Structure 1
């Protein structure tokens, strides 16, 4: 991991993301770049016309806004770095729509990871349901780290939710790269919700449901065992298990039991990420978990 992009709106809620970004940059000897997007409701062509009509005054005001943002980011990162070995960092501002400009910055700079901040469930709900985060996850192939709480040091216990797909395999690989000293816990959940709807409460339904659940559990366990056997970082896996239930609920439950500090998940990739976040497991985990969340696509 060579380049970490930290996106900030300059609010207090991004402080934990800044702290984690500095910690990761130090650990990986990576370059760190902080970016702040100054939201511009006007189209670029309109802004150019206004600047031409108003002359240097408008351009000066624009630059002053940028300088203020850059100064705030520099102040924040300097304070976090303290007297320790400071990672190499740069700061910059962009004008435009938040998610689009963050994604453009990540692509232009070649970021290996994009870190964004949130704290608590309410902020995370707003973040993931908002248009900015929705577009960001839709546009990026780079992994996204959602930081929800201040770091207590390096990640030590990482839970990776897997389903046997290439995207979940990439989630394991990315988690291993991001947290090289962490113990990896792999969890595969057999989703019982569809079966419970199918079999309902009719005569004989309970017996049929139990048989279907048992078959599903066995298949899930077999797929997980095959995945673990094929992983090149098998020695990093401290524990793996298959469970049944609602995936998001089970993920949060297991994370609490194992005192997990990072949950990693794969998503469906660029063209289908929007639906993955807003209508499935990742969305619910983002709502319900208090832990940091690493989202990876099947791309790259």
Structure 2
């Protein structure tokens, strides 16, 4: 057997956790360390230094930031590899630049702190990473006490939803965990039926038929994913964001899995309304998977 016949060793998974060096980053760094430990992944710990200031101030900020960043890395549990990185620039630009340069498998951020006037116009770092990036993003809100035990994946049966679910599996987030796949749908034609004063039994029959069709479509969608284990599936009629929040309150998952749509141009400037609403109001961690980069 020649050297060319040997299979190439699998590349070590690479995670990127961004920190602003404050205690607000502790939960994200703790979850990143748990994931890196479980998979043997390399963890890159990134802090961005604002470069919109005089060079002397940039240099001074870098000198002050480096020991703090190194201390945060040293405080993490032992990892296969942990690498602190200082990068100049706006945080979202630095995150995306390093993510691409290092070909990371997962970005990990803490829940954003809103600065109302600024965020109205340009959005939080998290939102900007999602709008412009193409790599899975884990938004950490809860203390990272243990591996994820229950995932709730909200799907619209699109290729984007399938990509999100496959990413959760590929990243090892579903290992040893319960997975519930929820499809929320709005029954078509209800407004027209109400205006036409259709009899209630006919309306009920229409709702039942729509629910059966949605359930069959969800089963077909799940079958096509080739998941290692069959998840629980739920089909619920109603406004998607409302249904997902209600079921999240009912099931209390520790991770919500979402895909975002593949809008481009001006539409890409704003997160999809369902994803944006859920990210703003979710109380658990969320894995959000944007579309793949154009070929």
TM-score of Structure 1 vs Structure 2, range by shorter chain = 0.7 to 0.9
Aligned to 1:101: 94
Unaligned runs of 5+ in 2: 1-11
User: Contact 2:214/2:235 (CA < 8 Å) preserved in 1?
Assistant: yes
Match of 2:46 among 35, 39, 50: 35
1:227 is aligned to 2:238: no
Partners of 2:274 and 2:243 lie apart in 1 by 10
Normalized against structure 2, the TM-score is what? 0.82
User: Contact 1:267/1:273 (CA < 8 Å) preserved in 2?
Assistant: no
Count matched residues.
276
Determine helix, strand or coil for the equivalent of 1:160.
strand
Match of 1:139 among 127, 132, 137: 132
Query: How does 1:171-186 map onto structure 2 within 5 Å?
Result: 171-178=164-171, 179=173, 180-186=175-181
Unaligned runs of 5+ in 1: 52-57
Cα offset for 1:64?
A: 3.8
Deviations 1:40-96, CA, capped at 9 Å, x for gaps: 335xxxx6xxx5xxxxxx2xx534422332322221232231xxx334111112122
Match of 1:202 among 183, 195, 199: 195
Name the stretch that deviates more: 130-139 or 89-98: 130-139
Aligned to 1:54: none
Cα offset for 1:274?
A: 6.2
Partners of 2:206 and 2:67 lie apart in 1 by 60
Query: How does 1:16-55 map onto structure 2 within 5 Å?
Result: 16-41=27-52, 51=55
Aligned to 1:68: 64
Normalized against structure 1, the TM-score is what? 0.81
Change (3 A) 1:202 1:22: same
Partners of 2:185 and 2:232 lie apart in 1 by 17
Cα offset for 1:275?
A: 4.5
Match of 1:78 among 55, 71, 74: 74
User: Contact 2:153/2:179 (CA < 8 Å) preserved in 1?
Assistant: yes
